[in-house]
Amino acid sequence: MVVLDKNTYSSWLKIKKDYSGYTVDKNAMENWVLKFMYKYNTQYGWHKFKTHDGRTKKIYGGPYGWRISKDKEMTSVKKMLANGTTETREPYWREKGKVYDGVNGDIGDTYVEVDMGAQTVYYFKKGKLKYATSCVTGKMTADRKTPECVAYILYKQPSATLSGQGYSSDVKYWMPFIGNVGFHSAPWRGSFGGSEYISNGSHGCVNLPTYAAAALYKLVSQGDPVVAYY
């Protein structure tokens, strides 16, 4: 809960020299809005997550989560001051997660978990493990390692051509979750899991056996959280 009371906003008001009214210290008002944004925003911040095997991880960054609209909140506060009114309401959200304070915080109980240390992908629905598969993530170099993040399935595409410097690959079951990083089939690989990713990993994507990519493609929905960690 955020309370804007007289003790707070009175310090923003400055009486004009001719006593004809007052001005509002916009910097002080903005700092107040930023303070509660910092408290309640989760997007691109820290997320606490309980892994498939019971560990608690703190993961930083990624586009999944809740984010307050600074512009809408500033406009609302200005209006309340001008009219002398109060409001009891939800914040004006610019971005929303699945839940705010539920299982795994704002992640909820339906998500894709990528344990990059174990090179395994898990899909949970309503708290129940529905699917698991070995994978190969990005090669462990600065330009190719798969990022730790809390992101979400951006969209699903049955086939795609992925290209970059020195490569072009036709893949099936393309499910991007952060930038140009996503899940997809990798039929050129003979094995998955283990330590393959360290020296022979992908360009950043999560490579899956074709059958596993097909299974995951059927299970996930656009917007499902993706939690990736080492």
User: Structural domain tally of the chain?
Assistant: 2
Ordered mean pLDDT values, 10 residues apiece, the chain (230 residues): 80 84 89 93 95 97 97 93 84 94 88 99 98 99 98 98 87 98 97 97 98 99 98
Shared domain check, 176 and 89: no
Asked if residue 106 is part of any domain, the answer here is no
pLDDT recorded at residue 177:
99
In this structure, the answer to whether residues 214 and 117 fall within a common structural domain is: yes
Q: What pLDDT score does 54 carry?
A: 97
CATH number at residue 217: 2.40.440.10
Cα Rg of the chain (Å, integer): 23
Give residue 88's pLDDT.
84
The residues with which 141 forms a beta bridge, in sequence order, are: none
184-187 LR contacts (CB < 8 Å, sep 24+)? 184/160, 184/208, 184/213, 185/209, 185/210, 185/213, 185/214, 186/136, 186/210, 186/213
Verify that 26 and 117 share a domain, yes or no: no
What pTM, to 2 d.p., does this model score? 0.90
Regarding whether 142 and 74 lie in a shared domain, the answer is: no
Domain residues for the domain of 122 are 111-229
- Residue 89: what pLDDT? 87
